Amino acid sequence: MIATAPQAKVYGMAAEFPTVAALYHAAEQIRDAGFKRWDVYTPFPVHGMDEAMGLGKSWLSAVVLCGGITGLLIAVVLEGYPSLIEYQTVVHGKPTDWTTVPAFVPIFFELTILCSAFTTVFALMVMSQLPRWNHPMFNWERFSRVGDNGFFLAIEARDPKFSEEKTRALLESIGGNHVTLVHDI
């Protein structure tokens, strides 16, 4: 089966699996076979799939920590510089010295959260290489069920171990159905 015009560049070899358990075990075997450029596609995050694929912990949290610290520093400067140094506003005769720093804490907190949240979302997009308008996998008509109940595995053609015959045989031997060559446009 061929998803697109034969002259188009080959993106990879994809297979569909009947259940999440079948996909999970297939992923373990592809991992053990030593493939590097491959992915599984599921309607929901599958528990334990990161280990089955041999992926480590996402380091998105480290980026968010930097974002949060940036937010805190912005708040420290935003509040501290005008209120303690540049323009000390006396309100109700209350002090304006460093002992009033606890009154700055709520905004320290809020800006830390705000910057962390923005960093989380933008880091998610950068690390997932999103947004994008299209993807070769969308050329395969069966793939439209990925948001419903379809479980797919695709090995990219640029993986050094990729070969049309052997990869097809491998995917079929580990229980993949509808093994298809997916083309790039």
Site residues for other proteins, 97-126, by CB under 8 A, read 100, 103-104, 106-107, 109-111, 113-114, 116-118, 120-121, 123-125
CB neighbours of 99 closer than 8 A, spacing ≥ 6?
none
> Which residue of 61, 163, 173, 177 would you call a contact of other proteins, by CB under 8 A?
61
Between 19 and 163, whose beta carbon lies closer to other proteins? 19
Between 117 and 179, whose beta carbon lies closer to other proteins? 117
**Least distance to other proteins, CB of residue 165, Å:** 26
**Apex CA 169: angle with CA 163 and CA 170, to 5°?**
85
Between 169 and 181, whose beta carbon lies closer to other proteins? 181
CB 25 within 8 A of CB 151: no
**Alpha carbons 81 and 55: distance in angstroms, whole number:** 45
Between 103 and 169, whose beta carbon lies closer to other proteins? 103
Chain positions 16 to 45 lying near other proteins, rule: CB under 8 A, are 19-21, 23-24, 27, 39-45
The count of C-alpha atoms lying within 13 angstroms of the C-alpha of 22, restricted to the half-sphere facing its C-beta, is 16
49 binds other proteins per the rule CB under 8 A: yes
**Phi, psi values for residue 11, rounded to 5°:** -85, -45
